[in-house]
Structure 1
Amino acid sequence: MSKSLDHTNATLHDQRASRRIADVATHIFLSVLAFIWVLPIIWIVAASFNKNTAPYSATFFPTEYTVNNYVALFTERDVLDFPRMFANTFIIAVFTCIISVFFVLIVSFSLSRMRFRFRKIYMNMALILGMFPGIMAVVAIYFILKALGLTNGAVTNIALIIVYSAGSGMGFYIMKGYMDTIPKSLDEAAYLDGCTRWQVFRLIILPISKPMIVYQAIIGFLTPWLDFVLAKAIARTQDNYTVALGLWKMLEKEYIHDWFARFAAGAVCVSIPIVILFIVMQRYYQESMAGSVKG
């Protein structure tokens, strides 16, 4: 009896020891990955304060620091007008976010709650078209916008908003899948109480779909904020440049020696709205998830 107890205790001790070793190895591995992930961020932030504006230096981190890169980025606007580029991108991103969320919501609600002819054909076509990269349509989109006179002047921002928003309704699958999980008995009870379809959509579907609305808002904002290809094809002058084009311009050979530190500062400034968006949206996402579970 005592031998069996000793054997059991030894087995438990070995299991605890192996579990501790596995936990230590896992934490070491995750710490290494975290260091690799954070190191470029630390470097770009440090480079944004580098007194040396050239792209090459003898040390990995700067030896002298200054805030002049940020000051010059927003005050010296004769060569590259970064504040204007930042404002252009922010306006485009905000309007695209609002329009894309609305498009995705109405398309998803229609396909989830309504039955009509060609419904399955439309969903299959959207799925097939979604398999092709959007870059394939850049040339066609540019010539269509050029024929409409939307590639010159201030209307270029409107053209970018149209391009980013127009195809957003095709990305309905995630939102529709979420709406499919909402019991249709809620809709039927609302209809019996005299609610219209719009009231069902506004008072029942939207509150429960808040987690997906937050997700779609983040996607709708980040798409124009980070895009380079479409902006490069449509925006032809610096007055209509977005931040992606501005940062790319700073790395050209005639600018890079004087603008590399400002490029790093611009990269940090570009990341700030993204960080704020994720922090704010995460709070609403958690609250909406808790509300949907209670409902």
Structure 2
Amino acid sequence: MSTQQAPTADPARRARDARRRRHTAPRGERIAAAFLHLELLVVAVIVVFPLMWIVGASFSPGTGLANASPIPADATVEHYVSLFTETDYGRWYLNSLYVATLNMIGSVVLSALCGYVFSRIRFRGRKAGLLGILILQMFPTFLTAIAVYMLFLNFGLLDSLTGLALVSIAAALPYNTWLMKGYTDELPASLDEAAAIDGASRWTVFVKIILPLMRPMLTFVAITQFTMPWMDFILPALLLQSPEKQTVALGLFAMIEDVYQNAFTTFAAGAVILAVPITILYIVLQRYLVTGASAGAEKG
């Protein structure tokens, strides 16, 4: 009894067939594809050119931006050196890193807990709490700046990096709670019921089952909540007073706010270094953003 083997597909033949299908596509589809690629190219240039220009300006000699270009002819690293030798950029950087990291961790933990509670647990005052959170997230943070300042003044939290992180966590908590609640609502409730039948407590269900399925949304919250205080200027300017407590945003602004102090190229160098942690964080966590919750539930 002979066995027949399936014919092996020829890669070259598949490539020829694909090219033939592209050439035989309707004229309208080819024109639409050409316009789509042209649009993507224009958007890419619009997005990439300012980044190239600011990086080139950071390596350009002098202090002004008039002669800066994306590819400077006489590149120099003197602006990066002066950041750490002539200013307190290192201290500003560590202050911003501390506030951003604390805000990221606190926001992820609290939003995950609050989202799970409002999604899975039915308790008295739940609807009123959701309505209150919905109303709170409609108001920008700077509208409550005076109230926050007086509150911090009474509790002795002014000029505190930890206090600044607490404000950032509280300001973003309503939105993040709604975000996590909506995401948790889409997770099958049968997972909780099956684990409860096996004797798992509610905390075990949350930590071992629901939390891993929240990973894509937790990653999104982590990235956004790290970025928000990292770039914030209004709250640090309001709550921080000592020079040693300044963040990067305050320090860089001081370089260019005076008309007689136009260190714009040094400012560009500081902005380039400022983008490094956000880029690294996104590269490390981006693979979790594409993880589907439903697919994860089926695999589990």
TM-score by length of 1: 0.87
1:85-121 superposed Cα distances (whole Å, 9 cap, x missing partner)? 0000001111111111111011111101101111011
Structure 1 vs Structure 2 CA RMSD = 2.0
Alignment pair present for 1:236 and 2:241 = yes
> When the two structures are aligned, how many residues end up with a matched partner?
276
Q: Distance in 2 between matches of 1:150 and 1:237?
A: 13
* CA–CA distance in structure 2, aligned partners of residues 58 and 211 of structure 1: 40
The one of 163, 186, 189 equivalent to 2:194 is 189
* One of 82, 90, 111 as aligned partner of 1:83: 90
Task: Give yes or no for the alignment of 1:270 onto 2:274.
Answer: yes
**Are 1:284 and 2:288 an aligned pair?**
yes
- 1:207-226 alignment runs, 5 A limit: 207-226=212-231
Relative to structure 1, the CA distance from residue 58 to residue 116 in structure 2 (aligned partners, 3 Å threshold; closer, same or farther) is: closer
**How does 1:1-295 map onto structure 2 within 5 Å?**
16-57=26-67, 62-77=72-87, 81-152=88-159, 156-171=160-175, 172-253=177-258, 256-257=261-262, 259-286=263-290, 291-292=296-297, 294-295=299-300
Residues 104 and 60 (structure 1), Cα distance of their counterparts in 2 relative to 1, 3 Å cut: closer
Q: Which amino acid aligns with 1:84?
A: R
Query: SS where residue 290 of structure 2 aligns?
Result: helix
1:256: how far off?
3.7
SS in 2 for 1:263: helix
The C-alpha deviation readout for 1:155-185, integer Å capped at 9, x for no partner, is x111111111234432211111111111111
- The alpha-carbon distance between structure 1 residues 58 and 160, as it changes in their structure 2 partners (threshold 3 A), is closer
Bigger relative contact order (CA 8 A; separation at least 6) = 1
Change (3 A) 1:211 1:276: same
Shift of 1:212: 1.0
After TM superposition, give the deviation of residue 288 of structure 1 in Å.
Answer: 6.5
Contact 1:104 1:168 in 2 (8 A): no
- Cα gap change, 1:66 to 1:293, in 2 (>3 Å): farther
The one-letter amino acid paired with 1:224 is: P
What percentage of aligned pairs have identical amino acids?
A: 42
**Residues 25-79 of structure 1: CA deviation (Å, up to 9, x unaligned):** 22112211211111100000000001111243387864421011111111223xx
- Give the SS at the match of 1:194: coil
Between the aligned partners of 1:88 and 1:55, the Cα distance in structure 2 is: 28
Structure 2 stretches of 5 or more lacking a match? 1-22
3-state SS of paired residue (1:198): helix
The worse-fitting range, judged by mean Cα deviation, of 264-273 and 228-237 is: 228-237
For structure 1, the 5+ residue unaligned runs are: 1-12
Amino acid at match of 1:117: R
Deviation at 1:221, TM superposition (A): 0.8
Contact 1:103–1:168 (CA under 8 A) maintained in structure 2: no
Secondary structure of the residue aligned to 1:47 is helix
Sort the Cα spacing of 1:293 and 1:189 in 2 relative to 1 into closer, same or farther, 3 A. closer
Specify the alignment match of 2:7 in structure 1: none
Aligned to 1:188, the other structure's residue is in SS state helix
How much has 1:14 moved relative to structure 2?
Answer: 9.8
Structure 1 residues 58 and 205, CA, compared in 2 at 3 Å: closer, same or farther? closer
Cα distance, 1:264 vs structure 2: 0.3
TM-score by length of 2: 0.86
